[in-house]
């Protein structure tokens, strides 16, 4: 089979852009060369000769020899302008920009159909884990029940360093930035926004339905203090930031991002450092687990390379789940068992949001409450009080029928 020759116009030459340049040089089997690189800063010293660069995006967008655009810039709005212009110009696009995709997925799908050119974005979700193409191709007919896991490398790195090495939050975050894992605005990582964007994309490919980012609730790791870390350690648990989307008995889907206590029996317990891990629950094959580095120059570049390779065979997403399931309903009708910790002054206020409480503790200064709460009340409580909320369990309807709530909240 004759593979297409790729003549690439690259936008962005930061950590991942340079990583891609290096990985491409070591991938001679791929018939691809970077013709021009567009960057913003004219004065920044760069590791390769100046003649490769342009500062004018049209030098790439209007170049008829360039048939593929790789978009690896930071700013999601500028990225959308570039990507949509490229698709309109009939150029295939590969991007890693999850914020841009999550904010514009419906328009980007329309543009692909209208201009008959593909947009691939495997690198946008979990970097080195080939999850999107698997959801699209391997699971095209299998009924998926849930997609959940650790999808942000920086927060996993920070939580690992805090719990395993006793580092401070700030120290661990600075290291995640120095290693090129964190977004340039690290609040996107620590506030759970990056995980939310990825969950939106994963969920569209798993279940169909294109949400808006504001439709998915995200809590981050920025309220987790050493008290919760200590509690987790005493109980033999770890805290991880978990993105989850799952189908309920009535066919509706719930999707949200929140920190969760992970038990040693959970496969995610061993997923530390910058690694991501995703568990798919399917009706027939049951649990399947994917693991790999979730951030960093080379793991992300490897996913871009894989998309480039797919383009040489004219691969495109068919959006099978989106086309099959036109009326997917997402809602927050979920019951959670959670651990809520706050300053003791707020203890009574916090308990009022719960359906049931099983345990309350206070040392006069700090207190915690364990119990069941609806996701809607979790979201309200998170917005209204200075409280750290960690999920213990997501309680599915089937389980609700089978167990007594009082028994469930009795013990972690």
**Part in contact with ligand HSE (CB under 6 A); list of ranges 140-148, 152-160, 166-174, 237-245:** 152-160
Size of the site for ligand HSE (CB under 6 A): 11
> Among 36, 95, 154, 254, which residue sits at the site for ligand HSE (rule: CB under 6 A)?
154
* Contact status: 183 vs ligand HSE (CB under 6 A): yes
SS3 278: strand
Identify whether 385 is a catalytic site residue: no
Contact 139, 282 (CB under 8 A): yes
**Element (H or E) spanning 132, and its range?**
helix 131-133
* Contact status: 189 vs ligand HSE (CB under 6 A): yes
Bridge partners, 345 (sequence order): none
Give the shortest CB-306-to-ligand HSE separation in angstroms.
Answer: 15
Closest to ligand HSE by CB, 182 vs 301, is 182
Closest to ligand HSE by CB, 127 vs 390, is 127
Alpha helices in 166-271 (DSSP H): 169-178, 187-190, 193-207, 226-235
Query: Which residue in 302, 308, 301 sits closest to 4, CA to CA?
Result: 308
> Among 36, 84, 152, 163, which residue sits at the site for ligand HSE (rule: CB under 6 A)?
152
- Distance between the two ends of the chain, CA-based, in angstroms? 57
**Part in contact with ligand HSE (CB under 6 A); list of ranges 60-68, 80-88, 176-184, 335-343:** 176-184
Please enumerate, as own/partner, the contacts of 157-162 that have beta carbons within 8 Å and a separation of 24 or more: 157/181, 157/273, 157/274, 157/295, 158/190, 158/221, 159/221, 159/224, 159/238, 159/239, 159/240, 159/241, 160/272, 160/273, 162/226, 162/229
For the chain, what is the radius of gyration of the CA atoms?
A: 22
Annotated active-site residue in 161, 196, 198, 347: 198
Closest to ligand HSE by CB, 152 vs 279, is 152
* Contact status: 294 vs ligand HSE (CB under 6 A): yes
Phi-psi category of residue 126: left, alpha or beta, with phi > 0 → left and psi -120 to 50 → alpha: left
* Contact status: 295 vs ligand HSE (CB under 6 A): yes
Closest to ligand HSE by CB, 38 vs 182, is 182
Which residue reads 């089937």 in tokens?
Answer: 398
* Contact status: 181 vs ligand HSE (CB under 6 A): yes
**Part in contact with ligand HSE (CB under 6 A); list of ranges 48-56, 148-156, 158-166, 375-383:** 148-156
Residues 191-210 that bind ligand HSE (CB under 6 A): 194
**Part in contact with ligand HSE (CB under 6 A); list of ranges 77-85, 177-185, 243-251, 400-408:** 177-185
Bridge partners, 281 (sequence order): 146, 287
**Part in contact with ligand HSE (CB under 6 A); list of ranges 109-117, 151-159, 339-347, 381-389:** 151-159
Q: Angle, nearest 10°, between helix axes 226-235 and 153-165?
A: 70
* Contact status: 127 vs ligand HSE (CB under 6 A): yes
d(CA 279, CA 175): 27
Closest to ligand HSE by CB, 297 vs 370, is 297
Give the shortest CB-241-to-ligand HSE separation in angstroms.
Answer: 10
Q: Which residues bind ligand HSE (CB under 6 A)?
A: 127, 152-154, 181-183, 189, 194, 294-295
Active site residues: 198
């Amino acid at each position: 089979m004759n593979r297409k020759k790729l003549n690439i116009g690259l936008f962005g030459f930061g950590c991942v852009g340079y990583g891609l340049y290096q990985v491409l040089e070591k991938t001679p089997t791929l018939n691809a060369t970077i013709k021009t690189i567009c960057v913003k800063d004219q004065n920044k010293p760069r590791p390769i000769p100046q003649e490769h660069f342009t500062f004018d995006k049209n030098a790439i967008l209007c170049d008829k020899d360039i048939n593929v655009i790789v978009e690896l810039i930071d700013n999601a709005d500028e990225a959308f302008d570039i990507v949509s212009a490229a698709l309109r110009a009939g150029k295939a696009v590969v991007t890693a920009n999850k914020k841009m995709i999550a904010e514009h997925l419906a328009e980007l799908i329309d543009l692909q159909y209208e201009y008959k050119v593909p947009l691939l974005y495997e690198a946008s979700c979990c970097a080195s884990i080939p999850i999107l193409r698997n959801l699209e191709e391997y699971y095209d007919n299998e009924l998926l029940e849930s997609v959940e896991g650790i999808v942000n490398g920086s927060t996993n790195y920070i939580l690992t360093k805090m719990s395993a090495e006793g580092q401070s939050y700030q120290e661990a975050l600075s290291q995640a930035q120095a290693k090129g894992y964190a977004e340039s605005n690290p609040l996107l990582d620590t506030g759970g926004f990056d995980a939310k964007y990825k969950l939106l994309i994963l969920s569209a490919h798993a279940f169909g339905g294109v949400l808006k980012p504001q439709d998915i609730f995200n809590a981050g790791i920025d309220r987790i203090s050493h008290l919760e870390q200590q509690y987790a350690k005493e109980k033999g648990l770890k805290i991880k930031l978990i993105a989850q989307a799952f189908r309920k008995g009535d066919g509706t889907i719930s999707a949200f991002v929140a920190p969760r206590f992970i038990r040693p029996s959970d496969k995610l317990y061993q997923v530390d450092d910058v690694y991501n891990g995703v568990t798919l629950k399917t009706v027939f094959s049951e649990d399947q687990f994917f693991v790999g580095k979730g951030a960093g120059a080379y793991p992300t570049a490897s996913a871009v390379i894989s998309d480039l390779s797919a383009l040489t065979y004219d691969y495109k997403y068919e959006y099978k789940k989106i086309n099959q399931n036109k009326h997917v309903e997402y809602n927050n009708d979920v019951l959670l068992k959670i651990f809520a910790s706050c300053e003791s002054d707020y203890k009574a206020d916090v308990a009022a949001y719960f359906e049931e409480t099983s345990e309350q503790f206070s040392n006069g200064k700090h207190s915690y409450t364990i119990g069941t709460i609806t996701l809607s009340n979790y979201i309200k409580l998170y917005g209204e009080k200075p409280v750290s909320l960690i999920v213990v369990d997501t309680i599915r309807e089937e389980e609700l029928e089978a167990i007594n709530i009082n028994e469930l909240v009795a013990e972690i």
